[in-house]
Amino acid sequence: ENLVHYSYGMVNIQGFRLSGRLGRILTIDEIYERLLDIVKMKLKEKGGVMDNADEIANAALRYAILSVSANKPLSFDLNRIVNFEQNSGPYLQYTYARAFNILQKSTDTLSIDKVDFTDIIDEKRKILVHIVKFPEVFKKSVDEMRLEDLVSFLRELADTFNSWYDKERVLQENNLGRRIARLYLVKGVATVLKNGLKVLGIKVLSRM
């Protein structure tokens, strides 16, 4: 009674000519195995953690399916959905790992009394707004069975976080108030990604 069937439309895998009438089909297990091979190849190329291959392949497939409205046809390229740099399940896992490792390397004790709130501007403000909006977006997407909205929300948060972090220091910031403010943002991003990915059935990884 606690289960809900989440159905979706026709699935098309780019690069494969499928036809149920002619018996040309791919089972979900076959798709997963092909995807796993691609993940392992990419991990080998980038010197990644091979033990994570299964979880990354799972993330790629779940993200590809859940990022599209259930009443629309689904078409995806197996190579594209294993993109560590944008718009994919592995990308969200990578972003979480990035935030997690920043927090792991920090030697500061987080205290709200130490925060320099004047530092929360521009992209940092956008990140904060995203963090605050998460409970509302989460509830609405689950209640309405529109998980694509949650996927889009998490992707936008990851995009904003990565754009900001590529340009501004966190651990290397000398001013304590600004450093603590930024660490709180990083912690918020990690928490939102962890909770959001859990709902999607995607495991977070501390190393990629």
Contact (CB, 8 A) for 93 and 204: yes
Out of 1.10.730.10, 3.40.190.10, 1.10.8.10, 3.60.20.10, select the CATH number for domain 11-199: 1.10.730.10
Look at residues 32, 37, 31, 33 and name the one whose alpha carbon lies nearest to residue 15: 31
Query: In this predicted model, what pLDDT tens digit does every residue of 94-146 receive, in sequence order?
Result: 999 999 999 999 999 999 999 999 999 999 999 999 999 999 999 999 999 89
Could you give the percent of the chain with pLDDT greater than 70? 88
At residue 43, the 3 state secondary structure works out as: helix
CA 88 from chain centre, in angstroms, equals: 7
Q: Is the pLDDT of residue 31 over 60?
A: yes
> What are 154's two structure tokens?
């998490």
The pTM (predicted TM-score) of the whole model is 0.88
Could you give the percent of the chain with pLDDT greater than 90? 75
> What are 182's two structure tokens?
């930024």
Query: In this predicted model, what pLDDT tens digit does every residue of 74-102 receive, in sequence order?
Result: 777 888 999 999 999 999 999 999 999 99
